[in-house]
Structure 1
Amino acid sequence: MLIENIALFRSIASLGTLSATARQMGVPVMTVSRRLASLESEVGVRLFHRTSRSVSLTPEGEAFLPYAISLLETHDAALAALAAGDSGLQGVLKVTAPNLIGRSIIVPALTRLMADNPLLKVDLTLTDGIVDLAGTGLDLAIRVSPLNSSELIATRLATNPRVLCAAPDYIRRFGKPAVVADLVGHPCLTLHGIPSWPFRIGEEIRWIRVNGPFTANSIEAIRAACRDGAGLAVMTYWDVEECLRQGCLERIEMKDAELPELGMWGVYPTRRQIPRRTRAVMDAIKAHLIQQET
């Protein structure tokens, strides 16, 4: 089997149409259809149900997909091993990250890594949603979460504490809450579907319901509203590190409670044949975070 046809199979499974795969590869749809037919002829089964608008995996295609992914990973690992003696990294690395952290941390780290490795290419997807790594062919996902490393194949890149904060002008006008009960008297800025904030009170984690005039679907919007003095917000440290350092936001500590800590994780789809470039990206992100803290 040609490795290019196996990669095409994975792309079709991820994108859901032959035309989208053709656009991604920069080839005619007929070429994609012909190569898929060649692969199906070689394996002796039909891999996709086809309609005029989309395709979906047959049971045989579902069974073949993890083997296809494993073959592609092995192929990439073999190339990486052969290139191990070279001074630089090479190949395409597909990464996903949250929007705000992606722009402020991941992009600078990747830019520096690419400058040092001219043959390395990066395909970055910024989204605050959770992306299926294996199904989309991604090599690495940067996630902010209370994950335990045993739950997913993950490496902790940094601690990422939750932070209650407000703009200095807001604090001058309305003061700071001192205890959790004081939150009732303050406008609180929340993400869609998350009307409560977690606090560790004694040995217990309690979700405290808050209210305010502004809710949004992105951390970036919450940070902007908080910076403009619209109210209090709970965000993670690496979402607001620059604002805290520059003084446009101030951290608020509670006397009777603290916010549970999160982590920033590098999550990858398999423990086997992790490409050298994937490890290098995680090292670059760690180095960038350390530099930001100093």
Structure 2
Amino acid sequence: MIDDLGELRTFDRIVFGGSLSAAARELGVSLAVVSKRLSALEARLQVRLLNRSTRRASLTDDGLLFHEHCRRVLDAVEAAESALEERHSAVAGVLKLTAPNGFGRRHIVPAVRSFQLEHPGVRVHLSLRDELVDLVGEGVELAIRYGALDDSRLMARQLAPNRRILCASPEYLRRRGVPTCIEDLRGHDCIASGNPPVSQWLFASPDGVLAMSIEASTVCDDGEAAQLMALQGAGIARKSIWDVADDLEAGHLVEVLPHFALATSPLSAVHGSGKQVAPRVRVFLDHLLAHLRSSVAWRYATLPGTDVHPA
């Protein structure tokens, strides 16, 4: 049983440097110490790992096989040590992140500002786009997204619950009446938004997902503009609770058909996989989660209801 990492590191440095003396210089120990560690390792394994002369050392067949596995062990140990070092290191560097337009303006921008006040060594490059961004191709460290992860190169962490709702202004509902069932929507002005605009609204039903095709009175490819239209009395809009919670709280918008759950997906934080997450990403995510939990939107997002995740 091998329980001495010093012997493994010494063996690896001999292979890397090509000789016992080169390993001794790199490790800052005497040649005798290097020779003793190598001999102890070979005795433990009961094989000869190296053919060695005065100036050179070359791997035997057994040594070649063992070094491949030895390197994996040392890589794992170094990764663990690096993770601890990064955990306690200063949070600094450039944080490149992206988020949807409306959510980004309302929640990411203030979170970024308060985060930078706590960590002035972090520079933030923020891109607000509703379309999916190729994180790997564009070198983005973090994306805040609605919906499922469809890229095997990435990792996702559920950040917050989410509800989509139908909403309209009090003035519109006084003028046109309050819908009491899904079929009532056919007699109302509906605002279709998205890129492309979503003209089929999905509801939960005892038999699964119910698709309701709407004849939109207004079609808009921008969610922010659709919300402004709803605020101005143009009709009923389908929005994420994270976009409209403040307007609901202020009474500027009213939830329509609150007992009929719309299909939705959680809010997730997405980042690259296969390497240690940078401290600035990890610390920002913790900061953002605390920021979201303190918001009005979190209270509305966590109201009892049914989340339906479309296929």
Q: Classify 1:147/1:178 alpha carbon distance in 2 versus 1 (closer, same or farther; 3 Å).
A: farther
- Measured in 1, the distance between the counterparts of 2:230 and 2:141 equals 34
Find the partner of 1:292 among 290, 295, 300: 295
Residues 74-85 of structure 1 correspond to what in structure 2 (within 5 A)? Answer: 84-85=87-88
Q: SS at the partner of 1:96?
A: strand
Partner of 1:225: 229
What letter corresponds to residue 99 of structure 1 in structure 2? N
- Deviation at residue 206 of structure 1 after TM alignment: 2.1
CA contact (8 A) 2:204 2:262 kept: yes
Q: Classify 1:151/1:237 alpha carbon distance in 2 versus 1 (closer, same or farther; 3 Å).
A: farther
Find the partner of 1:207 among 201, 207, 211: 211
What letter corresponds to residue 275 of structure 1 in structure 2? A
Deviations 1:256-275 (A, max 9, x none): x4212321110112152111
Q: SS at the partner of 1:268?
A: strand
Give the TM-score of the pair, scaled to structure 1: 0.68
CA contact (8 A) 1:80 1:276 kept: no
- Measured in 2, the distance between the counterparts of 1:132 and 1:148 equals 11
- Deviation at residue 78 of structure 1 after TM alignment: 9.7
- Measured in 2, the distance between the counterparts of 1:79 and 1:168 equals 56
- Measured in 1, the distance between the counterparts of 2:197 and 2:145 equals 19
Deviations 1:211-241 (A, max 9, x none): 2221111110110001111000111100111
Q: SS at the partner of 2:212?
A: strand
Find the partner of 2:283 among 266, 280, 284: 280
Q: Classify 1:182/1:284 alpha carbon distance in 2 versus 1 (closer, same or farther; 3 Å).
A: same
Please list every run of at least 4 consecutive aligned residues from structure 1 whose deviation after the TM superposition is greater than 6 angstroms: 77-81, 148-151
Deviations 1:147-199 (A, max 9, x none): 59999510111011011111011111112111111010001001233211111
Q: Classify 1:233/1:78 alpha carbon distance in 2 versus 1 (closer, same or farther; 3 Å).
A: farther
Give the TM-score of the pair, scaled to structure 2: 0.64
Residues 1-294 of structure 1 correspond to what in structure 2 (within 5 A)? Answer: 84-86=87-89, 88-146=90-148, 153-191=155-193, 192-253=196-257, 257-293=260-296
CA contact (8 A) 1:147 1:263 kept: no
What letter corresponds to residue 124 of structure 2 in structure 1? V
- Which 5+ residue runs of structure 2 have no aligned equivalent? 1-79, 300-311
What letter corresponds to residue 222 of structure 2 in structure 1? S
Q: SS at the partner of 1:273?
A: coil
Q: Classify 1:108/1:79 alpha carbon distance in 2 versus 1 (closer, same or farther; 3 Å).
A: farther
- Deviation at residue 110 of structure 1 after TM alignment: 1.0
- Measured in 1, the distance between the counterparts of 2:201 and 2:183 equals 12
Q: SS at the partner of 1:153?
A: strand
- Measured in 1, the distance between the counterparts of 2:112 and 2:223 equals 22
Q: Which has the larger radius of gyration?
A: 2
What letter corresponds to residue 219 of structure 1 in structure 2? G
Q: SS at the partner of 2:284?
A: helix
What letter corresponds to residue 94 of structure 1 in structure 2? K
The CA RMSD over aligned residues, in Å, is 2.4
CA contact (8 A) 2:197 2:219 kept: no
Q: Classify 1:254/1:107 alpha carbon distance in 2 versus 1 (closer, same or farther; 3 Å).
A: closer
What letter corresponds to residue 226 of structure 1 in structure 2? A
- Measured in 1, the distance between the counterparts of 2:153 and 2:218 equals 34
- Deviation at residue 203 of structure 1 after TM alignment: 3.2
Q: SS at the partner of 1:164?
A: strand
Q: SS at the partner of 1:262?
A: coil
